[in-house]
Amino acid sequence: MPGFQRTLSLQSTIAIVVGGVIGSGIFMKPALMASQLGSPLLLLSVWLLGGIIILFGALSNAELAAMFPETGGQFIFFQKIYGEGFAFLYGWASFAVFNTGGNASIAYICSQYTNYFVHLPRLDAVTEHALRLHIPFIGDIFPLENLGVKLLTIGIILLLSFINYRSVRNSAAVQRVLTLLKIIAIVLVIGGLIGSGKGRWHHLVQNAAAAPQGWSLVGAYVAAIAGAFWAYDGWNNIGFVAGEVQQPQKNIPRSLFFGLSFCILVYACINLAYVYVLPIDRLSASSFVASDAASVAWGAVGGSVITLIVIFSTFGTTNANVLATARVTFALGEENRWFRWAGRVQPKYDTPGNALWLNAAWSILLILSGSFDMLTDMLIFVSFFFYGMSALGVLILRRRMPKAERPYKVWGYPFVPSAFVIFTGFFLGYTLFNDIGAYLSGASPVINALLGALITCIGIPVYFLSRKTK
C-alpha cells in the first residue's frame, strides 16, 4: 500500500511479536486456570499445549504473510481467499471487536496495577449501577463501574496513539526498549522466585482437594486453555505491518517462530516458578498471583517490584497493539467508501494517522462500556473464528493456486493447518456453550461470545449498504 516505508528490521519484528504477546495474561490468568484444574502439572501442560496450538496457527498464517507481504495482514489474505465481502467482515470485526478490544483490555490492566501505587477515584456502588445499558438476549453493561481506572486507560490509549501517529520508527524504537526491559524483568522474576529457596518442588505433585475428575476435568481443561489463548494473543500483529517489514518473506516467518517459541518458554518457566513458591490451593485463591509469589520470595517489597513489572509489560504490549492494529483499519479504509477517511496516509509522518485516531475513539467506547473479563472473552471468541479461517485459507490456496510462489511453506503441511482448524471449531463450540450456561446460571451478566458475534454481524448490513453507495 502506498505511503509506508519498509523500516522494520528482524529485531523490531521479533520485538513486536514478543511485545504483543507477553502482556497481562501471564500475570492475570494463572490463578483462575489453577482453580479450574486443581493440578500443577495440568496447569503447566495447558501453557505448553496452548502455545503449540497457537504456534500451529501462526506458522500457517506465516505462509500467507510471505505470499502477500502487504500492510493489513489477514484483511489482505481474506480478499485473496474468500473475496471482498468476507474481508470487509474481518476488517469490521477487527475494528469493532478484537483489535480495539485487545488494546482496551491490555491498557485496562496497566491502569489497574497503577492503582496499586496511586489510588484512582471510584464512584459508590449505587452510582456505579445507576446507569445500566441492557442489550436484549445479551445482558447488561455498566459504563460507570471503576471509572477512575477507565479514565486512566483512556489516557494511555490516547498517549500511545499520539506516539504512533508521529512516527513508525520512533514507535518501533520505543517497542524495542520496552520489550527488552520486559524480558529482563521477567527473567529476573523467574530466577528470583526459583532461586529464593522459599518454595518446595513437592508443590508440583500436590493436587487440590477439590480437583475435577472425569468429564468435568475435560471441560475445565478447555476453559483453562482459553485463558492461555488470551495470554498468547497478539502474535498476528506482525502480519498487520507486513508492508513495513524489511525482507518480509524471510523476517515474518522467522519473527513468528522465534518470538512465539520464546514466549512459550517464558510462560512455562514463570508458571513453574509460581508453582514452586505457592501450593496449588494458595495459587488458586490468589487475586494477584505474581505479587503473592514475589511476597513469599522477597517479602513486602516483592509486591511493589512485580507491580512495576506488570505496568511496564502491559504498557509495552498496548504500544505494540496500537502500532499494529491500526493497519487493518487503514486497509479497510482503502477498500470501502464509508471508511475511506481511515485509509489515508498522514503526509507529514507517513503513518496511518486517521486509522489510529479512529481505533482510539472506538477503544475508548469499549473501555467505558465493559470490564476486563467481558472484553477478553468477547474478543477471543471472534478472533479465533478468523484465525481458523486463515489456517483454512492455507489449505484452499494450496489447491486453488498450486503453482504460486511460496517463499515460506508451513512446516508439517497439511497436518499443522488442519489440526488448528479442527481445534478452532471445537473451541468455538465449547466457548459458546459455556458462556450461555454461565449467563443462565447468573454467573455472568453478559453472554460475551454472543455480544462479540452480534457486533461482528452488524458488519454484514454495513457492507451491503456501503456497496450500494460505492
Query: Using CA atoms, how far apart are residues 63 and 103, in angstroms rounded to an integer?
Result: 26
- Output the pLDDT for position 418: 95
Task: Encode 128-142: b = buried (16+ Cβ within 10 Å), e = exposed.
Answer: beeeeeeeeebbebb
* Most confident residue range from 141-145, 242-246, 350-354, 355-359: 355-359
Predicted confidence (pLDDT) at residue 116 exceeds the cutoff of 80: no
Predicted confidence (pLDDT) at residue 470 exceeds the cutoff of 60: no
Q: Report the percent of the chain where pLDDT is more than 90.
A: 25
Crossing angle for the helix pair 289-298 and 30-37, nearest 10 degrees? 100
pLDDT digits (tens, 9 = 90+) for 363-408: 998 888 766 666 777 788 898 899 999 999 999 999 999 988 888 8
Predicted confidence (pLDDT) at residue 2 exceeds the cutoff of 50: no
Query: Using CA atoms, how far apart are residues 148 and 407, in angstroms rounded to an integer?
Result: 49
- The domain defined by 10-468 carries CATH number 1.20.1740.10: yes
Predicted confidence (pLDDT) at residue 331 exceeds the cutoff of 70: yes
430 or 155: whose pLDDT is higher?
A: 155
Go through the chain and tell me how many residues it has.
470
Instruction: Indicate the Cα dihedral angle 266, 272, 275, 277, nearest 10°.
Output: -90
pLDDT digits (tens, 9 = 90+) for 283-306: 998 877 887 888 888 887 877 887
- Output the pLDDT for position 135: 65
Give the distance from CA 31 to its chain's centroid: 18
Eight-state DSSP code of residue 59: H
Average pLDDT of the segment spanning 244-273? 89
- Output the pLDDT for position 138: 56
Residues 335 and 467 sit within 8 Å (Cβ to Cβ):
no
Alpha helices in 401-470 (DSSP H): 415-440, 448-457, 459-468
Write the DSSP string, 27-38: HHSHHHHHHHH-
- Output the pLDDT for position 29: 81
Q: Read off φ and ψ for residue 208, nearest 5 degrees.
A: -70, 150
| Count of beta carbons in the 10 Å neighbourhood of residue 370 | 25
Tell which residue, 277, 295, 239, has the closest CA to residue 65.
239
Residue written as grid cell 490468589: 286
Predicted confidence (pLDDT) at residue 137 exceeds the cutoff of 60: no
Average pLDDT of the segment spanning 180-196? 82
Write the DSSP string, 261-328: HHHHHHHHHHHHHHHHHS-HHHHHH-SSHHHHHHHHHH-HHHHHHHHHHHHHHHHHHHHHHHHHHHHH
Predicted confidence (pLDDT) at residue 178 exceeds the cutoff of 50: yes
Nine-digit cell at 428? 468455538
Longest dimension (CA), the chain: 68
The three-point CA angle 245-246-252 to 5° equals 60
Tell which residue, 266, 227, 262, has the closest CA to residue 58.
262
- Output the pLDDT for position 166: 84
Eight-state DSSP code of residue 98: I
Q: Tell me: cis bond preceding 212? Omega within 30 of 0 counts.
A: no
pLDDT digits (tens, 9 = 90+) for 44-70: 999 999 999 999 999 998 888 888 877
Domain definitions of the chain by residue range: 10-468
Write down the mean pLDDT value for the chain.
84
Average pLDDT of the segment spanning 85-111? 87
- Output the pLDDT for position 1: 42
Predicted confidence (pLDDT) at residue 444 exceeds the cutoff of 70: no
pTM above 0.85, yes or no: no
136 or 234: whose pLDDT is higher?
A: 234
Specify the pairing of strand 133-135 against strand 139-141.
antiparallel
Query: Using CA atoms, how far apart are residues 8 and 10, in angstroms rounded to an integer?
Result: 7
- Output the pLDDT for position 47: 95
- Output the pLDDT for position 373: 65
pLDDT digits (tens, 9 = 90+) for 453-465: 888 999 999 888 8
